[in-house]
Homo-oligomer: A and B are copies of this chain.
Amino acid sequence: MCSFFLCSYNEELLWYSGTINFGFKSKEDVNMASEKKDIILTGDRPTGPLHLGHYVGSLENRIILQEKYKQYVMLADLQALTDNAGNPAKVTNNVLQVALDYLAVGIDPQKTTCFIQSMIPQLGEITMYYLNLVTVSRLERNPTVKSEIKERGFEKSIPAGFLTYPVSQAADITFVKATLVPVGEDQKPMVEQTNEIVRAFNRTYNTDVLVEAKAIIPKVSRLSGIDGKDKMSKSLGNAIYLSDSPDDISKKVMSMYTDPDHIRVEDPGKIEGNAVFTYLDVFDSDKKKVEELKNHYKKGGLGDVKVKRYLIDVLESFLVPIRKRREEFAKDPAQVMDILFKGTKETEIVAQQTLSEIKEAMGINYKK
C-alpha cells in the first residue's frame, strides 16, 4: 500500500530529522529539479503563536516539502471559529502572528502559497454541496471529531459547525485538489472522511473532478511539553514559542521537567522521559556531545542546571535566526499581510476553477 511519494517522503524525513535545519541551508540540497506533480494542503488554526511542537511536527517538513511539491498552507480562521465563535478576535489577531512564524522559520512565499481561509468565498459553497453527501451519523462516528468533542466538553451542545467541520475540511483539501495532506496520526480520520466524500461525489455525479488525498504522517510528529507531558500545547501552558524572548527561553528551560529522583548532582539520573534530553535529541545537531552528556548524567555527577544551560545554548542557536527574521518581518506587518493577500488571490482562482468543475459535474450551470 506504500506509494512512491509516501515512501520517498518518509525516507526524506528520516534523513531530515538527523540534520536539523539551522539557518535554512540544507534545503538547498533538495533536488530542485524534481517534478511538482503532487499538491499539498496543510495549515494551522490561528489561535495562538506557533511553538517548537509545531516546528517539529509540521513546519520543518513544510520547508522541505515546498522544494518538491506545490504546497498550499492555509490559515484556517473559519475552522478555528467552529469552536471559537464567541471570540473571533482570538482568531483574527493571530493570523498575522502565525504568518510571521511561517516566514521566520523559512516558509518561502515564492514556493509555498499561504492563504486565509475566510477569504476564499467558494469554500462555503463547496461545503454546502458536500454536506448533502455525508450523513449526520457518519460525522458523529468520526473518531477525531468524537475525541475533540470530548476534549472541549461540548457533549450535548455541539455547535453544528463543529460537527460538520470535517466536511468543510474536505472542501479545503479538495478545492486545491490536494493529493498529499501532512497530518498527525490523530487527524488521519479526517483525510479518510474527505476521501469518502470525494468518492461519493465522483460516483453520484459520474465524474472524476475530485481527487483523493493521501495522509502523510511524519515520523517525529510530536514534541513533549516542558513539563514532560506527551504533547506541547498552548492550552496546557507547557509550550516554548518560536517568538519567545531569550529570557522566556531561559526561564522555561530552567523550569523543565527532568528526573524527579535526580536530587543531588552526584546522583545517577534517568534519560527516559527527561524533557531536557528529549529536546537535545531533537535540536542538537552534535549527536556525539549529546551522547556524552547522557552517559555522564546516567552515571551521576552532572547537574540538571548544567544540562539545562547547555540546552538553552542549543535552543538559542536554533532560535536566533528565526527570531531575527521574525523581527525583520514584524517591522512591516502590512507587507506580511500583502504576502497573504497575494497567496489568497492566487488560491481563489484555483477555488473558482474547482467550484465551476463541481457545478458543471452536477449540472448546475444555468448560464450554459
Contacts and interface: CB of A to CB of B under 8 A. Distances in A.
If over half of A's interface residues share one DSSP class (helix, strand or loop), that class is named, otherwise mixed; here it is: helix
A118 B364 contact: yes
A161 B88 contact: no
A87 to B, nearest CB: 9
Interface stretch (A8-16, A130-138, A225-233, A262-270): A130-138
Contacts of A157: 135, 137
A174 B367 CA distance: 26
Nearest to A96: B366
A121 interface: yes
Contacts of A78: 128
Contact of A132 (B81, B128, B337): B81
Contacts of A139: 160
A159 B139 CA distance: 10
A148 interface: no
A125 interface: yes
A159 B134 contact: yes
A100 interface: no
A85 B133 contact: yes
A167 interface: yes
A237 interface: no
Contacts of A121: 121-122, 124-125
A175 interface: no
Contact of A92 (B135, B204, B366): B366
Given A92-B364, A119-B366, A128 B161 contact: yes
Contacts of A260: none
Contacts of A126: 124
Given A204-B85, A204-B86, A158 B135 contact: yes
B131 A128 contact: no
B161 A137 contact: no
A113 interface: no
B81 A129 contact: yes
Which 3 pairs between the two chains have the least Cβ-Cβ distance?
A124-B124, A131-B161, A85-B132
